[in-house]
Amino acid sequence: MRRGKRIAVLLLALLLALCLAGCEALEQAAAELWQGALPAASFAAEPSAAPSPGPSATAEPSPAPVLLPSAATAREAPPFDGSSPYAVLAENRPSFAGKDEPGAPFERYSPLDSLGRCGAATARIDRSLMPKEPRGEIGMVRPSGWQLTRYDFLEDRYLYNRCHLIGYQLTGENANEKNLITGTRYLNVQGMLPFENAVAACVRGGGTVLYRATPCFRGDDLVAYGVELEALSLGDGGEAVCFHVLCYNAQPGVEIDYATGRSRADGSITAPAASPSPEAPPTPGGSASPAPEEAQADYILNTSSMKFHLPSCPSAAEIAPHNRKAYAGSREILIEEGYSPCKVCKP
C-alpha cells in the first residue's frame, strides 16, 4: 500500500515538471514569433562593411528588435502615431516587374492631375544622372496644398518644404513641378532622406538602382498623406538596396488638414521658453565678436528669406537677430529643407 502511494507521488511530480517545462517553451516560442513578426526596412548604407571585432573584443548583447508599422499596401498602413517616420509595405519587397538587369538610365514624371497634384516618378539611376552643378532655386514652384506655415517649436519654424519625389542628389532634377510636393520637414528629412542617401551611396559606388516615388492622396486632398518609396539595386538581386516603404507626410506636434494643407498645433509639444542671449563684449577693433555657436557654424541662415550664407558674407551681417541662425552641417540637407544659397557669397 505504501509502495503504491510512493509511485503515485513520483508520477504526479514528474507530470508537474513536464507541464512547467512545456509552459516555458511555449512562452519562449511565442516571444520569438512576436519579435520576428514585422520586417525592418533594409538597405545598404555604404559599400564597405564595418570590420569584425578582434578575438579580444567583448561581444555586445543584441538590441531588442524594433517593431515597425507594417502593411500590404499604402492604403492599409496604420495611421502615423509618432513612433516611426515610415511603415514597411509588402514585406519590404518593391513591386517592380521585369528582369534584374541594368539598362539605359531614364527618368519619368507623371503629368499633374486636374487638381495640380503630382503622380508617380520613376527612374533607373546610375552615375550619369547625378547632378553635376549646384542646385538652383525652387521657390517659384507652388505644389498643390502649399502653405507658408510656421511653428515656434519646430526647428527652423517652417512646417512645409517643397519636397522632391526623386531627390535632387539622385537625378539633378530641381524646379520641376511634376517632381515637387508639399511635404513636412519631418517627411523630407526623417522619412525620405535616409532612403535617398542609401540609393545615392549605391550609385556613387558604381551601382544602378530602379527607383519609384509615389505620392499618396485620399480623394481630392491637395496634400499627400505619405510618399511610397520603392528601390531595387540591379544586377545583384537587390543585395545592395532593396526597400518598399510608406514615408508619412506628418509632423509631430501638428495636426494637418490634408484636404487643404492648413494645420494647427495639437498641443503635444510646447515652444521652448526664449532666453535672452548676453551681449558679446566689443573687440578692441570696435566690432562685436561672433556668438560662440557662430564661431563653429558652416553657414548662417536667414529663417525669413530661407537663404543661407557663408559666415563671412556681408549680407549675413545684415540679417535681423530674430531671423538669424547659425548652422553646422551639410549644404545638401539645407537645400532639401527648402533653403537656397546666397547669390552674393555663393556658398
- Residue 128's region, left for phi above 0, alpha for psi from -120 to 50, else beta, is alpha
**What is the distance between the alpha carbons of residues 16 and 21, in angstroms, rounded to a whole number?**
9
For the cut 50, the answer to whether the pLDDT of residue 275 exceeds it is no
pLDDT tier at 42 (50, 70, 90 boundaries)? low
pLDDT higher for 85 or 45? 85
Tens of pLDDT, residue by residue over 125-168, are 999 999 988 888 888 899 999 998 989 898 878 899 999 999 99
pLDDT tier at 289 (50, 70, 90 boundaries)? very low
Strand order of the β-sheet with 324-327 is 324-327, 299-302, 307-309, 340-341
For the cut 80, the answer to whether the pLDDT of residue 55 exceeds it is no
Locate the DSSP E strands across the chain: 42-43, 70-71, 86-89, 106-109, 121-125, 160-164, 180-184, 209-216, 226-233, 241-248, 254-256, 263-265, 299-302, 307-309, 324-327, 340-341
169 Cβ neighbours under 8 A, 6+ residues apart? 130, 131, 196, 197, 200, 332
Strands 241-248 and 226-233: antiparallel
Distance of CA 202 to the CA centre of its chain: 17
**DSSP state letter for 60:** P
For the cut 80, the answer to whether the pLDDT of residue 252 exceeds it is yes
Residue 119, pLDDT score: 97
**What is the distance between the alpha carbons of residues 263 and 256, in angstroms, rounded to a whole number?**
4
pLDDT higher for 15 or 302? 302
Cβ atoms of residues 41 and 86 within 8 Å:
yes
Range 41-46 average pLDDT: 48
For the cut 60, the answer to whether the pLDDT of residue 307 exceeds it is yes
Residue 92, pLDDT score: 94
Range 77-103 average pLDDT: 87
How many C-beta atoms surround the C-beta of residue 16 within 10 A?
Answer: 10
Residue 54, pLDDT score: 35
Weakest-pLDDT range from 31-45, 79-93, 102-116, 205-219 = 31-45
Tens of pLDDT, residue by residue over 2-15, are 555 555 555 555 55
Residue 16, pLDDT score: 54
Phi/psi of residue 98, nearest 5 degrees: 110, 180
pLDDT higher for 101 or 346? 346
- Structural domain spans, the chain: 70-265, 292-341
CATH code given to domain 70-265: 3.40.570.10
Average model confidence (pLDDT) for the chain? 78
Tens of pLDDT, residue by residue over 311-327, are 888 888 889 888 888 88
**What is the distance between the alpha carbons of residues 145 and 222, in angstroms, rounded to a whole number?**
5
For the cut 90, the answer to whether the pLDDT of residue 339 exceeds it is no
Tens of pLDDT, residue by residue over 18-36, are 444 444 433 343 333 333 3
pLDDT tier at 334 (50, 70, 90 boundaries)? confident
pTM above 0.95, yes or no: no
For the cut 70, the answer to whether the pLDDT of residue 17 exceeds it is no
Residue 46, pLDDT score: 37
**What is the distance between the alpha carbons of residues 123 and 105, in angstroms, rounded to a whole number?**
7
